[in-house]
Structure 1
Amino acid sequence: MNVLSEWTALACKELGIDPAAVDRDLILELTKEVAHGVARPAAPLTAYLLGLAQGSGTAPEDAVERITMLARNWARATTETLTDD
């Protein structure tokens, strides 16, 4: 077992989460997109926000898709937000 798998298993156990419910690769891909498209410190914050969204009932796949698109279009999104009246 590699360190990431071991950490995931132990963190899930500590938090009472079924490890089978965690799509590690999906989360890592999301945080990679955010780190490269927005800023590195935004990646862990995004993972936390994803958890909050899932806790409030948003399907993780939907949240990941929406946030990935936002990260990929970050320059345009910030320009539009800053120029809205």
Structure 2
Amino acid sequence: MASQEEELQAWCGRLLTALELEGTAVDVGAVLQLASVAAHSVVRPAAPLTTFVAGFAAGLAAGSGQADDTVAMGAAMRVAARECKIYGESGASDDH
């Protein structure tokens, strides 16, 4: 029986293949950490929304040549985590 980490790595690999993104490095632990910060700082459903938006932003940055994949994803995840924490500390959203 595979561990949860092994299962997530296998799933990530399968998803990358299905989306024709083979060879793309994904830090599953970092994605899960961002999801955890969003779930605990905002509301639980913010976890998938936050990771999706961060990934989308990273994809746009990498696709436009602003940064390579790793740098783009790291930057997007840092911004998203920061915003989650600020939101959690203030308890309210800004008008962004």
More helix by share: 1
- Aligned residue for 1:12, secondary structure, equals helix
Does the CA contact (< 8 Å) of 1:50 and 1:60 recur in 2? yes
Residue deviations 1:27-84 (CA, integer Å, cap 9, x gap): 11101100011011011011111121012116111111111111111142736x26xx
Residue deviations 1:8-43 (CA, integer Å, cap 9, x gap): 111111111135521111111101100011011011
Task: Note if 1:14 corresponds to 2:18.
Answer: yes
Q: Which residue of 1 aligns with 2:51?
A: 47
When the two structures are superposed, what TM-score results if normalisation uses the length of structure 1?
0.80
Does the CA contact (< 8 Å) of 2:16 and 2:24 recur in 1? no
When the two structures are superposed, what TM-score results if normalisation uses the length of structure 2?
0.72
Match of 2:9 among 5, 8, 24: 5
- Runs of 4+ aligned residues of structure 1 deviating over 6 Å after TM superposition are none
Q: Percent identity?
A: 28
How many residues in Structure 1 have an aligned counterpart in Structure 2?
Answer: 81
